[in-house]
Amino acid sequence: MIRIEEASLDDYPIITELFEQLIREITLRTSSTSPIFQVSGTLERCKYYLESGIYKVFNAIDENKGQIVGFLSLCESNSLYADGNFGIIQEFYVQPEYRSMGVGSKLLLSAKEYGKKKSWRRLEVTTPPLPAFEKTISFYENGGFNVTGGKKLKYSI
């Protein structure tokens, strides 16, 4: 049985470990020759984000094993185009052996419910690179998300 609960500060090492698994999977599946993200400092950042409250995390817990098997992280943002404040799914990962079992859907439902409590106008998410993660698009569409087009760009400062 899978239970979803809000992460506590004590969970930051496990969340960081799952995040690193996510980055490794994206790197492998996209055949990237260089890491897409530097994980150094991630442990400290995760702890700080949870301590400061700028980062909301929901954990999926396998009650039989008593361990976290997935997580979803959210941050709040504001914009004119979204007509106010909204949530951004920053990271979302479920261990492979727990996929297609409803774990991701439960995490997504927790994010939607949290967004309603916060009076967010919408949730946004950027998927990993396509076509390697086409199934991810289908997952979000089945969860009620619509493709809005465009690509996520970044400028390193």
Domains held by the chain: number: 1
Expressed as residue numbers, the domain containing 101 is 2-142
pTM of the model: 0.90
In a domain, 6, yes or no: yes
Residue 121 is assigned to a structural domain of this protein: yes
Evaluate whether residue 91 is within a structural domain.
Answer: yes
| DSSP letters spanning 98-129 | GTTTTHHHHHHHHHHHHHHHTT-S-EEE-PPS
Does any domain span residue 77? yes
Strand (E) or helix (H) holding 16: helix 12-29
Question: In the structure, what pLDDT confidence band is assigned to residue 68 with cuts at 50, 70 and 90?
Answer: very high
Whole-number pLDDT of residue 56: 97
Say what percent of the chain tops pLDDT 70: 94
Summarize the confidence of residues 59-82 as an average pLDDT. 97
Q: Which residue has the tokens 């909301």?
A: 56
List pLDDT tens digits, range 16-51.
999 999 988 988 888 766 655 666 789 999 999 999
Inside any domain, residue 156: no
| Structural domain includes residue 149 | no
